[in-house]
Amino acid sequence: MKSEGTRSRRLMHTGTNTRTRTRTVVANPGASGALSRRRLQFKRWRRRTLRRLNRRVQAVTRAVTPLGWFMLSLAVLCAVVGATAVWIEAWFVASAAALLLLIALPFLIGSRAYRTTLEVSRESVVAGGEVHLRIEVENTVARPQLPAVIELPVGNALRELTVPLLGPHQQTTLPVTVPTERRGVITVGPLTVARQDPLGLLRREMTWRDVHRVHVHPKTVLLPPNSAGLVRDLEGKSSTRLTDSDLSFHAVREYVPGDAMRHIHWKSTAKTGQLMVRQYEESQTARLAVLFDARRAEYASDEEFELGVSLAASVSLQAVREGRERVVASGWIPGRVRPSIDGLEELPARDPKQLLDSWAELQQAADAPEIEMLARSLAHSARDLSIVVLVTGSQPDLARLRRAAISFAPDVRVLALRAEMLAEPSAQRIDSLTVGTLGTLSDLPQMMLRGAL
């Protein structure tokens, strides 16, 4: 029995020699979190480093001017040619180009710790005047600043001003005078402080985004009082509409509950034995429309176009000053403002400054509708007008102006002003149309004083 038990244990021991081990690993939350944080920090550091490197590369590439890139390319090309072809002249050119680049580097050394202020004396000025600009430059650090150049765009021109050597916290003022010879809008700014070497190979600049707009108003002339309405009566022209309160007396009628007691006509009340009240015709002052022909082909020259703008601006400005109801419109220029009247662009005319700013922004239109189409569009705009002033150049003849005037109702008075440089002033009346030819701006008030217009 003992031998059998021993043999059995041996058989069991020798029969199976495979063992299975199960290993349980318990994760450490602290170590996993630290590893994730290190990965996140590494990603952030890499992103910051790449951004800084990208900014440095962009700063270096922006500092090299096109002439500098040419010199750098010439140096590299000549160095390659000199190394491969053993050409001494090529090595000399490469060395000279590299030396010029090295000499240009010291001109960019130093910080750009400037504080600049751009001030404009006036936001609007009449054509033929001038605007004074004031540029203040201050060194904001406790070390001197090398001289620099200020570039100031003024309209289509570029003004260059020299900033002298500034000591610690020192400032200087640079005055600039801008002549305003022609009507328009002058954009002043943005201001740029630049440093560059004398050859223009390297350049460093800093720009301030301060931009000013100066409106150059057209020349205008003061017109006689009430000339914008071309009427001299106090009450205005009576209409067929009846009202209970106005200046033009019409008749009396029976009292209706709700009528004001101050309108009771006591003499009629005593005669009829019942309350009678006054009734009036609604009077209206002249409703003026100034229609300017902005089509360039209708004018013989740019000076004639500007004369037409001054004539239209003078009439419309007088209407604003007198507080009359007015419509100031011109040919629609695509890409500027959506037209409020079909085919026309109505100029804002709330006050004199807004009106003159609008005239300053108006531009010549090569594809604008002709004066006949403009007049037809204004006549069909359902506006209650009593006077229409058409301003155009010397090219439209009398027949075209008559076709433009026919578009309006018979009770609408039409005044056509033709701008013709240095022409003798004249006036011609045809039914409700008055055509005036003016050679200078001063002819307009003189002809109105004589009653020719």
User: Higher confidence at residue 16 or residue 222?
Assistant: 222
Instruction: Reply yes or no on whether the pLDDT at 238 is more than 50.
Output: no
- CA dist 396 and 214 (Å) reads 33
User: What mean pLDDT is predicted for residues 150-164?
Assistant: 91
Tokens of 151: 């570039």
CATH of domain 114-217: 2.60.40.10
Any bridge partners for residue 345, and if so which? 330
User: Higher confidence at residue 323 or residue 294?
Assistant: 294
pLDDT for residue 37: 80
- At residue 427 the predicted structure's pLDDT band, cuts being 50, 70 and 90, is very high
pLDDT for residue 3: 43
pLDDT for residue 297: 93
User: What mean pLDDT is predicted for residues 289-314?
Assistant: 94
Overall pTM surpassing 0.85 (yes/no): no
Instruction: Reply yes or no on whether the pLDDT at 46 is more than 80.
Output: yes
| CB neighbours of residue 117 within 10 Å | 14
The mean of the pLDDT values for the chain is 82
Query: What pLDDT, in 10s, does the model give residues 332-362?
Result: 665 565 555 566 788 888 899 999 999 999 9
Question: Where do the CATH 2.60.40.10 domains begin and end in the chain?
Answer: 114-217
Give the range with max mean pLDDT: 230-234, 296-300, 376-380.
296-300
Q: Phi and psi for 337 in degrees, rounded to 5?
A: -130, 140
The Cα angle at residue 163 between residues 159 and 166, in degrees rounded to 5: 165
Question: Where do the CATH 3.40.50.410 domains begin and end in the chain?
Answer: 288-449
pLDDT for residue 338: 54
The C-alpha R_g of the chain, in whole angstroms, comes to 42
Q: Which residues contact 138 (CB under 8 A, 6 or more apart)?
A: 114, 115, 116, 166, 169, 170, 171
- At residue 176 the predicted structure's pLDDT band, cuts being 50, 70 and 90, is very high
Half-sphere exposure (CA, 13 Å, Cβ side) for 138?
Answer: 7
User: Higher confidence at residue 111 or residue 432?
Assistant: 432
CATH of domain 288-449: 3.40.50.410
SS3 string, 102-124, reads HHHHHHHCCCCCEEEEEEECCCE
pLDDT for residue 303: 95
Instruction: Reply yes or no on whether the pLDDT at 32 is more than 60.
Output: yes
User: What mean pLDDT is predicted for residues 213-227?
Assistant: 87
